[in-house]
């Protein structure tokens, strides 16, 4: 039964690492936005071409954070490896 406790603990650590992606995503998004604002400030005539690229970059960064959250939820609540481990322990 001790192996189950270790496995559950490792799953929680892995979920925390996956959620760390969400924290790092915010730094990436702020960098994307600040660089776009700086570029628009230097060349205001290029704002119409910079803005859509910025929004695509923000969308990609946001989906990365959402994927990290999804992976953490799956590991915590619907992990098929834990079901297999519990069936072996019976």
Provide the residue range defining the domain that includes 41: 2-89
CA distance 89 to 45: 66
Residue 84, pLDDT score: 74
SS3 call for 69 = helix
pTM of the model: 0.71
CATH of the domain at 62: 1.20.20.10
Residue 50, pLDDT score: 94
> What's the structural domain count of the chain?
1
Residue 72 CB coordination number (10 Å): 21
Residue 55, pLDDT score: 95
* Phi, psi for residue 79 in degrees, rounded to 5: -80, 110
For residue 37, how far is the Cα from the chain centroid? 24
* pLDDT one digit per residue (tens) for the chain, 90 residues: 577 778 888 888 988 998 898 888 989 899 999 999 999 999 999 999 999 999 999 999 999 889 989 988 988 888 777 777 777 776
Residue 21, pLDDT score: 87
């Amino acid at each position: 039964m001790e192996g189950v406790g270790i496995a559950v603990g490792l799953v929680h650590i892995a979920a925390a690492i996956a959620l760390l992606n969400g924290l790092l995503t915010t730094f990436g998004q702020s960098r994307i936005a600040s660089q776009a604002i700086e570029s628009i400030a230097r060349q205001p005539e290029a704002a119409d071409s910079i803005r859509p690229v910025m929004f695509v970059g923000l969308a990609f960064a946001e989906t990365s954070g959402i994927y990290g959250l999804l992976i953490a939820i799956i590991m915590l609540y619907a992990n098929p490896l834990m079901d297999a481990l519990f069936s072996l322990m019976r």
